[in-house]
Amino acid sequence: SVRTACEIYEATRYVTGAKEFNTAAFEFILRNAMKVFQDNSFVKLSTAAVAEILSRDDISVHSEVDIFDAMLRWHHTDEDAYLIGTSTKTRNLRKCIKESVLNCIRFPNFEPFVYCGLIQRWRILSKDEEDYLYSIWAGT
Amino acid sequence: LKSRPFLKNSPRTYI
Per-residue confidence (pLDDT) for residue A134, from 0 to 100: 95
Model confidence at A85, pLDDT cuts 50, 70, 90, reads low
Which of the two residues, A50 and A88, has the higher pLDDT score?
A50
Q: Which residues of B touch A57 (CB under 8 A)?
A: 10-13
Per-residue confidence (pLDDT) for residue A35, from 0 to 100: 96
User: Which residue blocks in A55-114 are alpha helix, DSSP H?
Assistant: 64-76, 79-87, 93-96, 99-102, 112-114
Q: Using CA atoms, how far apart are residues B10 and A57, in angstroms rounded to an integer?
A: 8
Nearest by Cα to B2 from A100, A94, A107? A107
Residue A91 confidence (pLDDT) above 90:
no
Mean pLDDT value across residues A17-42: 96
The SS3 of residue A89 is: coil
Model confidence at A140, pLDDT cuts 50, 70, 90, reads low
Per-residue confidence (pLDDT) for residue A81, from 0 to 100: 67
ipTM value greater than 0.85: no
Q: Using CA atoms, how far apart are residues A55 and A75, in angstroms rounded to an integer?
A: 15
Per-residue confidence (pLDDT) for residue A82, from 0 to 100: 63
Q: How far is B10 from chain A (nearest CA, A)?
A: 7
Per-residue confidence (pLDDT) for residue A89, from 0 to 100: 46
Q: Which residues of B touch A108 (CB under 8 A)?
A: 7-10
